[in-house]
Structure 1
Amino acid sequence: MGLVGWARPRPAGRTPADGRVHDRVGAGRRNDGDDEEVARPRSARAAAAGARTEGAGVGVSTGTAPFEWAVASRPRAGEDVSGDAAVVSSAEDVFLVAVVDALGHGPEAAATAVVACSALHAFAGEEVTAALERCHERLRGTRGAAVSAARYSPTSAELAWAGVGNVEALLFRGVGPRTRPSEALLLQPGTVGAGLPRLRSARFRVRRGDVLLVATDGIDSGFADWLDTSGSPQQVVDRILVRDGRESDDALVLAARLLGADA
């Protein structure tokens, strides 16, 4: 199992353990261990607005259909760490893409998000509902979180997703300055780690060029009514964070675009 990338909550101004901040968005590599890729925002406007982009890179599957992805995030105004986090993990021939929004703010929320991401990575090879159930077990005794996750199989060109709480997930087919979502995840009420509903997932075919967007509620609702999906995933998420991120809450948005053959 390889961890392709992890957008982990990080205190402002801190760098990875090696003391470097990697500035090579889109130049990622396959990771066979638990390597972590961290990237600065590439948008000048996003940087000026205080955006912190972590975990961006290119995930290459063990099959034939890689996808490129990026994350933009920032903590609530006045906080050094965020309770929002994202993980993209591979297990054999499938990928799990998930976004976590821990309840509340600050260090305790950030610690809860780390536990959730670790659990989702550990069970990335399971069905998406099973991965959420495992995450629920790991989060017992914490403040809990909202989580939305998508499981992508390059072999079948299928994506299955499920979500608990208010982390929005949307699929866009086609690229352009005014694109509307083709699919929207039906979110189920509850809290992962506290009150988990009977989980339901949806499954559908995807193809090259499709864009998956996942955002926490720190991004204004309605952000994707008419969305500019042109440019790189990094440019897409930077635009969203600058335009629609709310300073009163932690905010995170992830974009993933399929690069493989058409289904």
Structure 2
Amino acid sequence: MHILLVNDDGIHAPGLNSLHAELVKFAQVTVVAPAVEQSGVGHSITYLHPLLAHREYRQDEFFGWKVEGSPADCVKLGIMELAQPRPDLVVSGINHGANVGINILYSGTVAAAIEGAFFGVTSFALSQWLGNSAPRFPQAARLGAQLIQQIMARNPPTGSLWNINFPTWSTKDQSSDEPWPRGVRLTSMGVSRQRETLEKRIDPRGRTYYWTGLEPIHGHELVEGSDVAALVDGYVTVTPLHFDLTSRAQLMQAEANWSPLVIPPQHDQE
């Protein structure tokens, strides 16, 4: 098995390094990752200037490619040029922070997996919710590699897309003997956000500036069955996604109930 490993935190991120250490135990792994952090860039691509890729070495051995571009750039470049033979899987992560609810739409980590699915390659995005605790990337990487193998053993459709999130350790009751995480749940994407946070501040020179994105988890409604609710409850969440944004129900309703849409007669303007 050949895996293209990408992320949005950059090629030096500890989450990517931990995941690489686990994936190479059962697969050939090609790393193509951003040269610097690309968090929150979504599905942006580079086309206004050349896309540069440089060889990255660790202890005098080739480790992978660092790309001066976005996570989606890394996948496109990896599949089309750098990862040969064509990868069987695209794995993105482990992200430094959760990617659940509508925050998925902003995520460079998930965008990299979506780009893999665009190419018809089964793809996974993995993220670690931090909360108030330090990340435990080695543990998350070990579990993530196991979950990837379990999902693949079930023969999912080629080109399918999976979003996996690991809970924070800060909510664990240290006096409890209950295992942590509490288990794994298949979930839907939470789409109900109950509040936005925008913090206004003044810098030492009296200028106004703003911080956004301060409530990536707790700004969402905890809808039963959603990825947000299960993650807060201490479960690893596994959510199948699709990049087709068509509203099928609305399309069918329009086709059934609307009169045909037409272009009105055009009159030349003098």
Scaled by the length of structure 1, the TM-score of the pair is 0.29
Greater strand proportion? 1
Greater helix proportion? 2
Which gives a bigger RCO, structure 1 or 2 (Cα 8 Å, sep 6+)?
1
Larger radius of gyration: 2
Scaled by the length of structure 2, the TM-score of the pair is 0.29
